[in-house]
């Protein structure tokens, strides 16, 4: 049964749409998890798929199941990578296999797991690497001149 994501009510309705979208994305993730090619290539496939789902849901602001050009624009701005309208259209065209003008979740995961590099994939991978480095916490250790090389 297709889910109608066009109703933009908040509150309980929004939460329900969010849960329905998450279930749909979990089904798509299961399809990728069952694919022998991906299982052989990635040891941490389940973790990757979970991260991709969370990332996609964060950027799919209206829970439509697609990332459209305006959502991509806001996503790039959040990542500090503002792009022109033409650049955004090119980024979508690199990933969009159905010529819908949007990025569906299965296209998003295919892009992230695929061999082909796209601008969007490179930006997202760069941002993920940047997040992984945890800053030290607490008071910095005291140094003296004898500690210098």
20-55 pLDDT, tens digit each: 888 899 998 898 888 888 788 888 888 889 988 998
pLDDT at 134: 62
Mean pLDDT of the chain: 81
pLDDT at 4: 52
Q: Is the pTM higher than 0.75?
A: no
Q: What are phi and psi of 103, to 5 degrees?
A: -110, 110
How far apart CA 91 and CA 96 sit, in angstroms, is: 9
pLDDT at 69: 92
Q: Where are the alpha helices (DSSP H) in the chain?
A: 11-34, 36-41, 45-59, 69-78, 85-95, 105-113, 119-132
Domains of the chain: 11-127 (1.10.238.10)
How far apart CA 114 and CA 41 sit, in angstroms, is: 10
Confidence of residue 89 (pLDDT cuts 50, 70, 90): very high
For residue 76, give every residue at least 6 positions away whose Cβ sits within 8 Å of its Cβ, in sequence order, or none: 82, 83, 88, 123
**CB contact at 8 A, 64 and 18:** no
Q: Of the candidates 57, 56, 66, which has an alpha carbon nearest to the alpha carbon of residue 104?
A: 66
Is the model's pLDDT at 5 over the cut of 60? no
* C-alpha distances out from residue 19 to 5, 23, 57, 75, 83, Å: 11, 6, 11, 21, 31
Is the model's pLDDT at 16 over the cut of 70? yes
Contacts 24+ apart (CB under 8 A), 95-100: 95/120, 100/66
Confidence of residue 131 (pLDDT cuts 50, 70, 90): low
pLDDT at 130: 63
pLDDT at 1: 42
Question: Which residue has better confidence, 79 or 5?
Answer: 79
């Amino acid at each position: 049964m297709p889910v109608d994501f066009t109703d933009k009510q908040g509150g309980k309705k929004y939460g329900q749409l969010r849960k329905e979208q998450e279930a749909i994305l979990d089904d798509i993730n299961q399809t990728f998890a069952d694919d022998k090619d991906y299982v052989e290539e990635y040891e941490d496939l389940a973790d990757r798929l979970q991260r991709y789902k969370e990332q996609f849901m964060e950027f799919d602001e209206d829970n439509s199941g697609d990332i459209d050009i305006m959502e991509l624009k806001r996503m790039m701005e959040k990542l500090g990578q503002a792009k022109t309208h033409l650049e955004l259209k090119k980024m979508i065209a690199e990933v969009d296999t159905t010529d819908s003008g949007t990025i569906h979740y299965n296209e998003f995961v295919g892009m992230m797991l695929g061999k082909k590099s796209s601008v969007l994939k490179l930006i997202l991978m760069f941002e993920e690497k940047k997040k992984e480095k945890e800053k030290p916490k607490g008071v910095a250790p005291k140094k003296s001149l004898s500690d210098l090389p």
